[in-house]
Chains A and B, each alone.
Chain A
């Protein structure tokens, strides 16, 4: 609690003192090798993510959910052709993926709820860079987590299957697909969270979009509502992860899911640029 010595204030020996009116436009900007820009924004997001204990709790919760869900789903299988990664894929699709996506949600809603966003936008005022950095970090973490959950879930699932056929390439593809699905779902959630801002609102929207809306559409008469349900994110996820057929296959499902994630992020950027923080 001491009164600072003014000399302490400019310890890096950069431009200073008597700067006066001469410190015109751009003084300090561009100077030095600082890693602002996107790299800095990503490092910032990463630091924020790993310095919260809730991050680790949530990842642990996702692991526990997978550890419970994959064998739980596995025991219902009685198909000799089943891949040991099938239960993990279904678990990711119907719940575990959203647990991972909750991390992306909290990275945005947490900032709005705590006022931390003011600090973030001071450091990264460019809204596109801010959003891109969040997408890269959350997407990357979710992909890695999805792959890890896929591997763990495959092991847990294999133990619970009474009969299965293991093809390394099939299983590896499924594990990567789980990673891709959780990553894209996270990015979609991140965009949604930026628009909605509150956790309760995001969870409601996600539940509607992923679970309620497809069920409602499929319950309607006629083929058209069901077709719409097929191209919703969850419909694409089913084709990517659950071997659902009809309309299109995994090769279309992945870009379709990516398009959903992109649309959500584009909307988020539009809203961010127009709205007061």
Chain B
């Protein structure tokens, strides 16, 4: 169980002059992450996901508010590894120390027997390379070592920052199965990712943040349902005719957008209605299809406007261009 209460982290000159080079990474974040579920932690780059996790782990000091693990601050836990296993940075190990000794040192800090080190090496599938220095590991092996370290104390809470980064498809499937089974055992699993498709498959609950603020906290199904805003793609041979359609459907649609000269995206109207209007106005269509709502779209809508690096992250619904949004459709 993780409990965040008004958690706030500001960087830069605090106190002196507000706004003067000060940056709020986590802004008044309150939430509970409950046992028995995989809770996905989503947000664009720079939204404060990693900072939140570092605050929970007592690595960074909150400016205000609290982050509690099983009701206590991390630093107050007598045996932290037995309560929280965390993968924050896969390469949080000395590159010239062997994976085995990395884990053995951690185990000794808690009086965990060396046999457990071999077990987690086995669970993570890196027993054969345990004697090799961590610096020689690939990204995926580093992630597996991080997972092994997180499981070492058999903790009730698991905190994973981007665990599927660098894993091959085999590894992604492995992590997904592992996390699901850990949650099924009644553990609290909190994982951040920017891979929304992955989240859709793994998480039961979603916490979405943007610019350090909580944007949504809901069961996955609700978030997906909330994202079901009717979006219809229309393609036709004549731009002029499509313009007529755009004009007439525009009155009842939320939004009409040109994806290219021959393609429109209509939001807030069902595909059938678009077809009817096209028929009434004698607009020839070559394609008319309802776009399926995905977590990605739900997420994009939630986070648009709170995107930290807007220029780098173009494909938000309001500012995307045809090619990027759906390359297949613009052929």
Contact = CB atoms under 8 A, between A and B. Distances in A.
Interface string A113-140: 0111111011111110000000000000
B86 A122 contact: yes
B156 A119 contact: no
A12 B57 CA distance: 24
Nearest to A21: B35
Contacts of A28: 79, 82-83, 155-156
B1 A23 contact: yes
Chain A interface, >50% SS class: loop
B181 A115 contact: no
A125 B108 contact: no
Nearest to A127: B75
Interface in B109-132: 109-112, 116, 119, 122-123, 125
B185 A123 contact: no
Interface in B142-158: 149, 151, 154-156
Given A3-B178, A19-B187, A122-B86, A114 B80 contact: no
Nearest to A18: B186
B36 interface: yes
A110 B93 CA distance: 10
A33 interface: yes
Interface in A20-48: 20-21, 23-37, 39-41, 43-44, 46-48
A122 B186 contact: no
A123 B75 contact: no
B322 to A, nearest CB: 41
From A14, A32, A40, residue with most partner B Cβ within 10 Å: A40
Contact of B125 (A2, A25, A53): A2
B7 to A, nearest CB: 14
Interface string B62-102: 00000000111011011111110010110111111110011
A30 to B, nearest CB: 6
Interface string A173-186: 00000000000000
Contacts of A9: 123, 151, 154, 181-182, 185
A125 B82 contact: no
B111 A36 contact: yes
A30 B80 CA distance: 10
10 closest A-B pairs (Cβ-Cβ)? A25-B71, A34-B111, A35-B111, A51-B101, A44-B109, A47-B105, A43-B108, A123-B109, A276-B60, A118-B92
Given A8-B119, A125-B58, 15 more contacts: A12-B154, A19-B186, A23-B186, A29-B77, A30-B79, A34-B79, A46-B108, A47-B101, A48-B94, A52-B97, A114-B91, A115-B89, A118-B88, A119-B92, A276-B54
Interface of A: 1-4, 6, 8-12, 14-21, 23-37, 39-41, 43-44, 46-48, 51-54, 110-111, 114-119, 121-127, 274, 276-277
